[in-house]
Structure 1
Amino acid sequence: MIEELKIAGCASYSAEGQNVTGLRKINFIYGANGSGKTSISRVIANPADHPACAIRWVNQRPLECLVYNADFVERNFRSSLPGIFTLGEHDAAVLDQIEQARKDVADIERDISARNLVLNGKDDAPGKLNERAALRENIENECWKLKNRHDADFQSAFAGVRSSKANFCDKILSEWASNQAAVHPLDDLKKRAAVIFEKGLARESVIQVPDSTELARLEALPIFAKKVVGRGDVDIGGLIDRLGNSDWVKQGIDYFAQSTPQCPFCQQDVEAELAKRIGDYFDEAYNRDIADIARLVAGYEAAGTAYLQALAGISQNGSRYIDVDQLTGLIERVTARLALNGQHIARKHKEPSAVVTLEDNTELFAEVRDFLIAANAAVVEHNGAVDDISNQRTNLTAEIWKCLVEEAKGILDAYHASKTAVDAAINGIEASLTTKRGNLTTAQQTLRDLEKGITSVQPTVTEINALLASFGFRGFKLATAGDQGNLYEIVRLDGSNAARTLSEGEKTFVTFLYFYHLIRGSVSESGMTSDRVIVFDDPISSLDSDILFIVSSLIKRVFELSHAPNGLIRQVFVLTHNIYFHKEVSFDPDRKRELRAHETFWIVKKIDDVSTLEAFDHNPIRTSYELLWSEVRNENRSNLTIQNTLRRILENYFKILGNMDKDKIIEKFEGREKVICASLFSWVNDGSHSTHDDLYISSDAATVDAYLEIFRRIFEETGHTQHYHMMMGTEAMPIANAAPIEITSPMPGYDQTAALTNSWFQRCVKPQ
């Protein structure tokens, strides 16, 4: 059974289309000519010809679709028709075998449907395929979150899969299954990625590590701890040592050389012997030490300046592997240390006898050296990577994916376990479906073979001819034709072909009867027991109005067959533009206002040249006949139009539908009432466009009330009081001596359907 239709991109339907959902066993679709009904029937008949449209079947089980529409009439009405094979009357055992074979086919189809339901799901039951799809959607979302977390750092590693959830997920799953790379810390991978994937990557220069050996040597000289003084064996040496003013004396000698023979301090004459003794105190060893200290001052300053300049050059040149802040800190510490030692050395130079202690910079120099050596190691590694960039990028990419796989390990393991279970279930179901489909093919072939043995086209000829005769079509009939008697042709009573001389109504009716019998048969020797969907698209087009109820009665028989427990008809669609036909074919005495569980109602409209479909929870079609009665019930009715409204009701109810004898009705009245009644029926006879005497078209309130009273009395006098009160929504009052109106047959040869006519006549005007 069809549970949903999408009609799009054909005829007057938009590209987005219309969805017809919630379809049931019986579906009524009403729409004016040209509104888009036939497009619906064509999609059902040939979905492959409408790629933008779609049909969703219950349990994904397509059924055979038999569609009656203008295409069917044009395709089948010709000089000869394919014969319709039906099961004949044969040995009961053979029929039992056919019934059992059909049951076997149905059982296998149910098994297939049940497995398809488990596989594909329905409504709240997702099905294994949907369950697997949900697992896939979830893992794609989780992998995409992983991608978004690391995309900024690893764009190059993600190249080719960055723009697609599905592709990125596939890559993760592939790496999860096969990646054997080593696991590295995430921060390490980020640093390497920033280099390896850099565009225009070039070699780095090795950093020249400044030599601190000279500074360390000078800082370790023992002279800083030595008191540089003169000879102690000179008689004046004791006094100098006791006073500890040798540095003062040494400086004073320079002044004494300028003031000789006077002392530069006390301005007394100094003995030549004293000057000699002072000179002897500052001997050659002392002078050597003083010279060493002087050289030490210059050497330390030069070595320190060179060392600091080398560090400044490294800082200025820069390198991706040198932490600028760390290097700046080291330079500042070295500068401070060297400056402090320079002060100590300057003091030693000024006061040779003083003992000074220099800052030991050995560890600081080692720290600088280690810092630069580590940077050079990174430079060497970088240059090696540049020289082998292709392999480096390949290896790093693998390590990055390995890192991501490890990060998502829990999620991936859970997905794999769930998917393995679902895949096992799906594979099992699909394997069983393959077996079942093979069994179905075998069972169907068995059924076809049994059907071929007892099928015939003759029963259909007999039945259609009987129907044609009973409905008054006596000028032509069907006859078997063809070499094997498996074709039909339409012939006159003298045997001549009548296909070219039939009226449009006759063509339509005979083709409809052909289709009606095709529903229960097949154009081949097998297949008449297959389940099917039936579509009637405007089956009364070009038919006379008096055949309308015949067609509707036959279609209602199809409805009944669709409700049979083991019936072949699974679903029926009725599409029409005729209000009266819709009213008759959809009539259901058990339906209240809301539709029944097995039916749906739709209206198709064309708005701005675009077709739209609207569903209703009740039968939305009210006949114009009902609308006329609503005007009579309206207290604010128009006095100018009420007479015409009454005329149209009488015309519809008594003349068109009841084929009444108006004179018998007029005779039931006397005097002025008879005149008014006759005037009403004269309008029926003359039509609504003739000119009448002012007596009969006066529009004052009193005259209108008189017409309304006679209008009511007509129904009472003819025994149709119940109908009047039903349409007016009032309670019926019993009328004495009221005789039912005589309903005559609307066409010759129609007496045997009189009871059906009366039944339809009563129902077709009853509000629903």
Structure 2
Amino acid sequence: MNPKMKSAIEKITLNDATFSNEVIEPTYVNFFYGKNGAGKSTIARTFKANDEHLQWQAGRASTEYDVLVYDTDFINANLRNYGNLAGVFTVNETNIAIQEQVDTLNAERKKMGEEYNGHKAAIDQKTADKNTALSTFQSDCWSKSAEARTLFDEAIKGKKKAALFAQEILAITPVAHDVEDLKTLYGTVFSGDAQQYNMLSKAGKVTYASLPGYELMGKPISSSSDTDFAKFIKALKATDWVRSGHTHFAGQTDGKCPYCQQKLPSNFDKEIAACFDAQYQDDISAINAFQRTYESEMDSVVATLEGNVSAAMPGLDLSEYEVKVQLLVDAITINKQRIAAKIKEPTSIASLEDTDSLLIEIGTLIDGFNKKIKENNEIVRDLKTKKVLCKKQVWEYLAELLKTDVAAYNKALTDLDVEIKSLKGKMEQLKKDATAKKEEANELNKQIVNTEATIDSINVLLDNSGFEGFHLRAKDGVANTYEVIRPDGTVAEKLSEGERNFIAFLYYYHLVKGSLSSEAVKDKIVVIDDPVSSMDSGALFIVSALVREMIEVCYNNTDYRSNKVDGDYIKQVFILTHNVYFHKEITHHQAKRYHSVSFYMIRKVENISSVKLCVRQSQRVPTEQENYNPIQNSYAALWDEYKELKTANTVKNVIRHILEYYFIQICGYEGNDLHKIVLEQNKPLFVDEVEGQKPNYDRYNLASSMLTYMNDGPAVISDGFNYIDDGSDVEQCKKVFELIFTAMHQEQHYKMMMGIED
């Protein structure tokens, strides 16, 4: 979209009378049309209030301008006493040398203002860059911390939006924390069911090597008897077999051998007993006692270790512990089997599986578990304090995680702030330099301003307007004061309303060009509210011309290529009226100045006023907008309708009205003459001639159709060619319409009405 240019006042907010928060964003020249009572005077009064409702351009303030409002209050205030009208100081054009110095100083001030605005724009861009950097930083923090935020969701409660999260990260000093420890702490304080747990029990120092009888496992248990039978049994290595058999069958075989059924010797039991002496019996008793003690102790160890699992604190990883306990159980089972085998065969040698190492490893695991249980219990005992600590550590951990991003963002911010500070310093210096230039120009102005030029100019304008009943003159003995004088030399006591309004406007016009003070001639903001009330046509014509001149002075600020008047001292114009004739007089050709001119319609419905900006989609460039004047005559309205129509028959109907009004009623052509000039004298414009092909008469027939209905004689049929009226194309109709103006040498009028620049 094509934007409008901004001037001194960038925004007006209306909150008075029948307006409620109505916002206007004006450009250089602004036309407001509205009926009486719609709210025009309310808008005009806004400029006389303080700056509360006005937003000035960056680096500008109301003190730099004369905001001059022409309205009823202005008339009453300045023409209350016709004999004491305050003089208006105007630059004396004859003092060229001093004026050139003033112009040079003003040009330098303007250049400084442009530099100031350039620096302000640069600051705005760098401020935008800061906002962009912040937005990027917030996004990066949010995305890079996603996994950690999920882990510690409850700890960052209240900061779960990217902007709030990043703001908190910037305020935290990063600290490295072990994430597993932090997860444990977090899991405890935010579980919702935190409680204390008992420590896991250890098995104690159970070492089978220290148990009585263990040493017998590694050596054979045998008798030391030296009887012949004992020696025989030992030679056969049958001691365990004999002992086992005797144990099972003693006293049960009726004196016979249980194997060969032969009668045993009478001293057999004595011989058997002699094979197993007292030491042997003691060893057997010791190994049996070792078995009982080992099984009792180890069963107790296993019960203790397995009991830990069922009573363990939730969250402990017991997988390794359970594996080692099972290994211990398996080793104990094997050892029990080996002890039993030793008892069965005392002469055998047996070794036991190492369980001490497993018990040490299991004990180490229990120590680790108990440490975590202790930490849990300490946390639970002081849950409130630990929760605060957990949140602090989580944020420290997150800040550590994102410290590279924080450092990069802070550096970018610092660099931008340094640049902004430098630009602000330059702006401050430019402001001081511009003030010095302004003061120097003011001193020069004091040498060349006077009030005589204003008196002469107003009197000339009064003469030119046909007013003969009064003129201005300097008041004797009173510096810088005018009098309104009747032809007989007396001070005017009464003026008609029209005369009063007219002289007030002439006074206002010269005030815009000059100043009430000789100290300075400031740039102007011009506000004109319904200036032509009760004026006759002669006064209205002059007022309209003066207003158009002020508009062109303001327009010079936007385009220096073809100045119609000199100067650019008016920086913004606001004109409000209900007078249709005056509005049309001052807005001629202004709508096409889209960038620097705006039209507004003021309406009041149900005692609520609104202001509508009159813009629409451009007919020539659909992607852009164009102004339209809300007040038009019927002929201009026909052209606007023509631009918007999309159907051929409707377009041709409007075309016929335009052609008839302009060429017949305005230009005075006869219908037949018009047809002759267009279709006979300029026939090649409408006929496509292609070598070797039949001429194409489509445009010719279409033009004939458009002109036929304006004939005041018999209708002229187009050379016998048949023509179907409904079959024409809209674009073709519009092209033929343009060619008719070309044929009549009226291209300039066509371009003017279409808003086409040369």
TM normalised by structure 1 equals: 0.69
**Residues 530 and 576, structure 2, Cα contact 8 Å, conserved in 1:** yes
Give, in whole Å, the separation in 2 of the partners of 1:171 and 1:261. 101
**Residues 322 and 375, structure 1, Cα contact 8 Å, conserved in 2:** yes
- Equivalence map 1:340-489=2 (5 Å): 340-380=334-374, 404=398, 407-452=401-446, 454-457=448-451, 459-475=453-469
Amino acid at match of 1:372: I
Per the alignment, do residues 143 and 195 of structure 1 end up closer, same or farther by CA in structure 2, a change over 3 Å counting? same
- Equivalence map 1:586-665=2 (5 Å): 586-588=587-589, 595-596=592-593, 599-604=596-601, 606=603, 610-613=610-613, 614=615, 620-621=628-629, 622-627=632-637
Q: CA deviation at 1:406?
A: 5.0
Name 1:568's counterpart in structure 2. Answer: 569
Name 1:142's counterpart in structure 2. Answer: 140
Name 2:310's counterpart in structure 1. Answer: 316
**Residues 38 and 537, structure 1, Cα contact 8 Å, conserved in 2:** yes
Structure 2: tracts of 5 or more residues without a match = 557-562, 619-624, 651-656, 669-708, 716-736
- Equivalence map 1:161-180=2 (5 Å): 163=161, 165=163, 168-169=165-166, 171-173=168-170, 175=172
Give, in whole Å, the separation in 2 of the partners of 1:130 and 1:341. 80
**Residues 460 and 517, structure 1, Cα contact 8 Å, conserved in 2:** yes
Give, in whole Å, the separation in 2 of the partners of 1:168 and 1:486. 68
**Residues 64 and 532, structure 1, Cα contact 8 Å, conserved in 2:** yes
**SS in structure 2 at match of 1:358:** coil
Amino acid at match of 1:624: S
Name 1:584's counterpart in structure 2. Answer: 585
Structure 1: tracts of 5 or more residues without a match = 638-643, 655-664, 666-702, 710-724, 734-761
Per the alignment, do residues 190 and 32 of structure 1 end up closer, same or farther by CA in structure 2, a change over 3 Å counting? farther
Per mean C-alpha deviation after superposition, the further-off stretch among 220-229 and 195-204 is 195-204
**Residues 44 and 55, structure 1, Cα contact 8 Å, conserved in 2:** no
Q: Does 1:83 align with 2:83?
A: no
Q: CA deviation at 1:371?
A: 0.8
Q: Does 1:249 align with 2:242?
A: yes
Q: CA deviation at 1:273?
A: 0.6
Query: 1:157-196 CA distances to partner (integer Å, 9 max, x unpaired)?
Result: 657765562x6545544556xx6x5x44555544455457
Name 2:671's counterpart in structure 1. Answer: none
Q: CA deviation at 1:247?
A: 3.5
Query: 1:471-509 CA distances to partner (integer Å, 9 max, x unpaired)?
Result: 23444556778995556676766425336x525xx4543
**Residues 115 and 429, structure 1, Cα contact 8 Å, conserved in 2:** no
Amino acid at match of 2:137: I
Query: 1:201-246 CA distances to partner (integer Å, 9 max, x unpaired)?
Result: 6666443322141456459922222333344523223443355443
**Residues 213 and 289, structure 2, Cα contact 8 Å, conserved in 1:** no
Q: Does 1:558 align with 2:550?
A: yes
Q: CA deviation at 1:443?
A: 3.2
**Residues 27 and 574, structure 1, Cα contact 8 Å, conserved in 2:** yes
- Equivalence map 1:8-407=2 (5 Å): 10=15, 17=23, 23=27, 25-28=28-31, 48-50=51-53, 54=55, 56=57, 64=65, 66=67, 68=69, 70=71, 73=74, 76=77, 79-80=80-81, 83-87=86-90, 89=92, 92=95, 96-97=97-98, 99-101=100-102, 103-121=104-122, 127-154=125-152, 163=161, 165=163, 168-169=165-166, 171-173=168-170, 175=172, 181=175, 183-195=176-188, 205-215=198-208, 217-218=210-211, 221-254=214-247, 255-319=249-313, 322-380=316-374, 404=398, 407=401
**Residues 39 and 604, structure 2, Cα contact 8 Å, conserved in 1:** no
**SS in structure 2 at match of 1:121:** helix
**Structure 1 residue corresponding to 2:508, chosen from 505, 515, 525:** 515
**Residues 225 and 276, structure 2, Cα contact 8 Å, conserved in 1:** no
Give, in whole Å, the separation in 2 of the partners of 1:204 and 1:623. 95
Name 1:749's counterpart in structure 2. Answer: none
Per the alignment, do residues 368 and 460 of structure 1 end up closer, same or farther by CA in structure 2, a change over 3 Å counting? same
Give, in whole Å, the separation in 2 of the partners of 1:259 and 1:137. 104
**SS in structure 2 at match of 1:534:** strand
Q: Give me the identity figure in percent.
A: 25
Amino acid at match of 2:502: F
Give, in whole Å, the separation in 1 of the partners of 2:362 and 2:659. 116
Q: CA deviation at 1:110?
A: 2.5
Per the alignment, do residues 580 and 213 of structure 1 end up closer, same or farther by CA in structure 2, a change over 3 Å counting? same
Per the alignment, do residues 484 and 144 of structure 1 end up closer, same or farther by CA in structure 2, a change over 3 Å counting? farther
**Residues 10 and 39, structure 1, Cα contact 8 Å, conserved in 2:** no
Give, in whole Å, the separation in 2 of the partners of 1:91 and 1:600. 34
Name 1:682's counterpart in structure 2. Answer: none
Give, in whole Å, the separation in 1 of the partners of 2:359 and 2:328. 8
Query: 1:567-598 CA distances to partner (integer Å, 9 max, x unpaired)?
Result: 3123444455555434432334xx9xx92576
Q: CA deviation at 1:49?
A: 3.6
Per the alignment, do residues 559 and 313 of structure 1 end up closer, same or farther by CA in structure 2, a change over 3 Å counting? same
Name 1:534's counterpart in structure 2. Answer: 526
Amino acid at match of 2:350: V
Give, in whole Å, the separation in 1 of the partners of 2:77 and 2:6. 25
**Structure 2 residue corresponding to 1:502, chosen from 485, 493, 497:** 497
**SS in structure 2 at match of 1:604:** strand
**Residues 36 and 604, structure 1, Cα contact 8 Å, conserved in 2:** no
Name 1:657's counterpart in structure 2. Answer: none
Give, in whole Å, the separation in 2 of the partners of 1:38 and 1:248. 134
Query: 1:532-585 CA distances to partner (integer Å, 9 max, x unpaired)?
Result: 343445444554455443222112222343426753123444455555434432
Per the alignment, do residues 335 and 407 of structure 1 end up closer, same or farther by CA in structure 2, a change over 3 Å counting? same
Amino acid at match of 1:510: I
Per the alignment, do residues 598 and 357 of structure 1 end up closer, same or farther by CA in structure 2, a change over 3 Å counting? closer
Amino acid at match of 2:200: I
**Structure 2 residue corresponding to 1:549, chosen from 541, 547, 550:** 541
**Residues 10 and 25, structure 2, Cα contact 8 Å, conserved in 1:** yes
TM normalised by structure 2 equals: 0.70
**SS in structure 2 at match of 1:229:** coil
Q: CA deviation at 1:276?
A: 0.9
**Residues 212 and 307, structure 1, Cα contact 8 Å, conserved in 2:** no
Q: CA deviation at 1:430?
A: 1.9
Per the alignment, do residues 80 and 286 of structure 1 end up closer, same or farther by CA in structure 2, a change over 3 Å counting? farther
**Residues 527 and 573, structure 2, Cα contact 8 Å, conserved in 1:** yes
Q: CA deviation at 1:326?
A: 2.5
Give, in whole Å, the separation in 1 of the partners of 2:220 and 2:501. 139
Give, in whole Å, the separation in 2 of the partners of 1:410 and 1:509. 73
Per the alignment, do residues 216 and 471 of structure 1 end up closer, same or farther by CA in structure 2, a change over 3 Å counting? farther
Name 1:674's counterpart in structure 2. Answer: none
